[in-house]
Chain A
Amino acid sequence: MLEISFAKPSLPTSGALAVLATEEGLAATLAELDRATEGVASRAAAAAAFKGRKGQSASILAPAGTGLARLVLIGLGKAAELTPLGVEEAGGGAAAALLHDEAAAVDARAAALGQAGESGAVRAALGAVLRAYRFDKYRTKEKPEDKPKLARLTVMADDHAAAKAAWPAAKAVAEGVFLARDLASEPANVLTPAAMAERCVALRELGLEVEVFGPKEMKKLGFGALLGVAQGSANEPRLVVMEWRGSAGAKGGRKGAKQAKASKPLAFIGKGVTFDSGGISIKPAAGMEEMKWDMAGAGAVIGLMAALAGRKAKVDAVGLVGLVENMPSGTAQRPGDVVTTASGQTVEVLNTDAEGRLVLADVMWYCKQRFDPAFMIDLATLTGAIIISLGHEHAGLFANDEALAQAILAAGKATGETAWRMPLGEAYDKMLKSDIADMKNVGGRPGGAITAAQFLQRFVDGCAWAHLDIAGTAWTTKDKPTVPKGATGFGVRLLDAMVAEQHEKAAG
């Protein structure tokens, strides 16, 4: 990860410098830079028509009068419209412009946010870190000069001391995002269910309790739906349960506080199909390679748990991921098979490629029975229909609880991992009626993402619940301000922010 330090604002004498500027503050910023650069800054800005608009940048090589290798101007937009997310995006823009400089600094004075508990410097640093992510484990022949060099970034701001103190928490979240991105980027021959479970076990060093269940244990728990999906693969399935008990620490600190009743944990459940060939209902060859990231929901839950533990969040949370591989073979589940879920409800599997909901059904039911959580949020690359519905702009949000839905929508706006509410209703639920079992696992093309959510709702057992269909947002084919092309880690920041805003502020 890009190494971040914070410092008092000054003009560096070497390396690269990015200067964040608002539209209103641009003239003053340029005047200051002009004094050091013999007027080059203003002339370059004028030549590039740089006005400080959001998303704008202008790069000046080796500006006169300084020892700088590069000077980059990054627009923040209008000062009055400046948001923490906007600053992150500017930080990401700076990182993208500075990727080929070994050491660089960002002048983030113009990004001061003036809100209690919000540091523009931290947000700029977070944006830069997130953008500088790269998965290059398997590039063995890349020439050194082609690799991005940026390793250290100094963020300069007047509140540098406060920013330094706040950084570890933000860094922990970024590490959670990176973990989620790493997992989604790993190919399926490397990241089998067992290998993915091992990655979870490694998180014990952060203070998470991690339990791993194999097929035998799951059989005892009655996970007929999950095991049905897994039965075609040579790679055994796993269920991983991660627990973070962070609220006790907070209470223990208060002198004389009574031993509070163990609070209901927040529960996060992820779909972890490490490769989805579709099974006997096999997918077309074109694009099938994308199915290595059909575990992105589980990846996000794992990243989120790492983030909560890493920043010692003052909440109790559990993360459960169902890890399976969906393959066609002589032992594979057939279209038409009927499986019995952990809840006892039977499902007629009409399409073996609608497997994610089968995995989630068992894991969600188990989560509710074992933890009786305050709420359950599941993340899953569940349907192609959600891509036809919302594209890559928003994740689909389905919820049976208004407050939970609003909290997720708000956190999405704050982090840029936006969700869009989609409907549930009896009319859609009826589409799951089976001729021979309690339900079938597909409801047809119309409203395909909705019927998938209706299916899941049959396994929440009265719990407050939200479902995020992230099939369109888990991967990006284009660079975005704080997300390079590839795995996005979508969900980690969204849910981390939701937990912080809804469940830690009140407690603190």
Chain B
Amino acid sequence: MIAVRFRRRLPEKGALAVLADPDAARSLRLPGFRGEAEEAYSHHGADGRRVIGSGLGSNPTPKRVREAAGRAVALAHGERRLALDARSLPAALAAEAAVGAALRAWRYSRAPAPREEPPEHLPPQIERLDVVVADRREAGAVWDKLRPGVAGTLYARELVTEPANRLTPRTFAARLGKLKRHGIAVEVLKPKALREAGFGALLGVARGSAEPPCVVVLRWKGKFDVPPVAFVGKGITFDTGGLSLKPAQGMWEMRADMAGAAACAGAMLALALRRSPAPAVAVLGLAENAIGAEAQRPGDVVSTVVGTTVEVVDTDAEGRLVLADCLAWTLRRFSPRAVIDVATLTGAIVTALGHHRAGLFSTDAALAAQIAAAGEAVDEPVWPMPLSEGYAEALKSPIADLRNCSPERRQPDACHAAAFLKHFVGAARWAHLDIAGVETREEDEPLGPRGATGFGARLLDRLVSLRFETEER
């Protein structure tokens, strides 16, 4: 993450970006720049210094400020130092500017072959950001609370960006092991332990791959003596679809099919970095869905942690199989205050909500409302979707307790998938976030470059601070 400093005076060197509302824009005298929202302008001054104007519009919201800062960073492409003039804003909003800037300035750090000189197509990155603000102490204090969420998001983005040959279930688990240094307890359940615990559905998904699966449990102790809030993440490090093979076109995007697990891990990092008092646990089901002689076949029946049998009519509806075991096991082991699963689960949710909102399914109206509020607050909007009884009909199997999806065409598969998961959560307070469609960006946007978004990390972090940082159960 870029280094952020708050200061009172404009620095003498580096690029300068002014966050301006229409009033401030007039006094700036940048030709044509009016300070409207979504407007951004860049030129080089007589001294060769780059000057950027990024519009806030009137009465800017935190979101507007974050996006204006993000636009400024995008225009500062190639600069190593950037000063954001946020003196027209109160301290809390100036801290939000740092959030937007840090989110936009991120770049995937692990180029496959590290070189001494960065290749020509990779211009230098902003290394230092000075946010100029009247009350730098107060802005800094707000930033200290927001920075962990940003760190969690960028951590998730790194993981999601990793190609599947570098991020296997094992190497994913190894990277998560390093979270120990932040005070997170890390436990890894390997195939033998999974077999003993009855993770038949997860193991079925993993059978076709040479890479063994695992379940990683991350625990943050917090301060309160209450059961933890639990996050369950889908971590398919690559999803070929299995024997129900996906078309070649676009299959490369399936390296991001572990974005749910990455978001949960990012949220845990955020909680640890800001020393949240709320106990939390993340259970991440990591597996590769590949084709092989041992691969699961369409029509196979598997048995889950709780003994429920599932007919796998489509091996590409594998995320729900992994989540079923992980959800059931999490409830048994931790009896959490609430459990929220995050998964790039269905193509249907992309058809339903596009790339601007994740699908939210929940049996608990209060929890759903808090998740929606958290999402709005951190630019990770969700939309409630139905869990009506009627959807369960499609999951009836002639030979098992359930089937994993409807074999017919044109089905509301996001609703079916949620109805499937509902079988495994009993009466627990539960919500399911289908983040397919929002886990990556197709184009550069104000709050992030093209590629992984880290969607979910800031949302879960904010949810915990809104809802779970009290000792009430």
Contact surface of A with B, Cβ cutoff 8 Å: 384-385, 387-394, 418, 420-423, 425, 427-428, 431, 445-451, 472
Contacts and interface: CB of A to CB of B under 8 A. Distances in A.
B412 A387 contact: yes
8 contacts: A387-B410, A389-B414, A391-B416, A394-B388, A418-B388, A420-B386, A447-B352, A472-B412
Contacts of B394: 391
Contact of A423 (B353, B412, B413, B416): B353
Contacts of B355: 446-447
Nearest to A389: B352
A32 B357 CA distance: 58
B374 to A, nearest CB: 17
Nearest 10 A/B pairs, CB to CB: A447-B354, A391-B412, A389-B352, A446-B354, A388-B351, A427-B356, A393-B390, A388-B348, A393-B388, A423-B383
Contact of B411 (A391, A421, A428, A448): A391
Contacts of B353: 389, 423, 446-447, 450
A446 B390 contact: no
Contact of A447 (B351, B410, B414, B416): B351
Interface string B31-57: 000000000000000000000000000
Interface of B: 348, 350-357, 383-386, 388, 390-391, 394, 410-416, 437
Given A420-B386, A422-B383, A390 B415 contact: yes
Contacts of B391: 391, 393
Contacts of A427: 356
Contacts of B351: 385, 388-389, 445-448
A446 B353 CA distance: 7
Nearest to A421: B384
Given A393-B391, A423-B357, A388 B386 contact: no
B119 to A, nearest CB: 33
Contacts of B386: 390, 393-394, 420
A447 B412 CA distance: 13
A388 B411 contact: yes
Nearest to B347: A388
Nearest to A446: B354
Contacts of A389: 348, 351-353, 385, 412, 414
A428 B354 contact: yes
B444 to A, nearest CB: 15
Given A446-B351, A447-B351, A447-B353, 18 more contacts: A387-B412, A388-B351, A388-B410, A389-B348, A390-B352, A391-B411, A393-B391, A393-B412, A418-B388, A428-B356, A446-B350, A446-B437, A447-B350, A447-B352, A447-B355, A448-B351, A449-B352, A451-B354
A427 B381 CA distance: 12
A446 B348 CA distance: 9
Contacts of A472: 412
B90 to A, nearest CB: 26
A388 to B, nearest CB: 4
Contacts of B437: 446
B383 to A, nearest CB: 5
A447 B348 contact: no
Contacts of B354: 428, 431, 446-447, 450-451
A446 B354 CA distance: 4
B1 to A, nearest CB: 26
Nearest to B414: A389
Contacts of A392: 390
A444 to B, nearest CB: 8
A390 B385 CA distance: 8
A390 B412 contact: yes
A394 B384 CA distance: 13
Given A391-B391, A393-B388, A393-B391, A385 B356 contact: no
Nearest to B442: A446
A384 B412 CA distance: 11
A196 B416 CA distance: 37
Contact of B413 (A388, A425, A448): A388
B196 to A, nearest CB: 38
Contacts of A425: 356
A168 B357 CA distance: 46
A392 B390 CA distance: 9
Nearest to A386: B352
Contacts of B352: 385, 388-390, 422, 447, 449
Nearest to B388: A393
Contacts of A393: 386, 388, 390-391, 412, 415
Contacts of A431: 354
B249 to A, nearest CB: 13
Nearest to B437: A446
B412 A388 contact: yes
A384 B391 CA distance: 18
Contacts of A394: 386, 388
A420 B412 CA distance: 13
A393 B391 CA distance: 8
A450 B386 CA distance: 16
A428 B383 CA distance: 14
Given A420-B386, A445-B351, A447-B351, A391 B356 contact: no
Contacts of B390: 391-393
B198 to A, nearest CB: 32
A291 B335 CA distance: 50
A389 B388 CA distance: 13
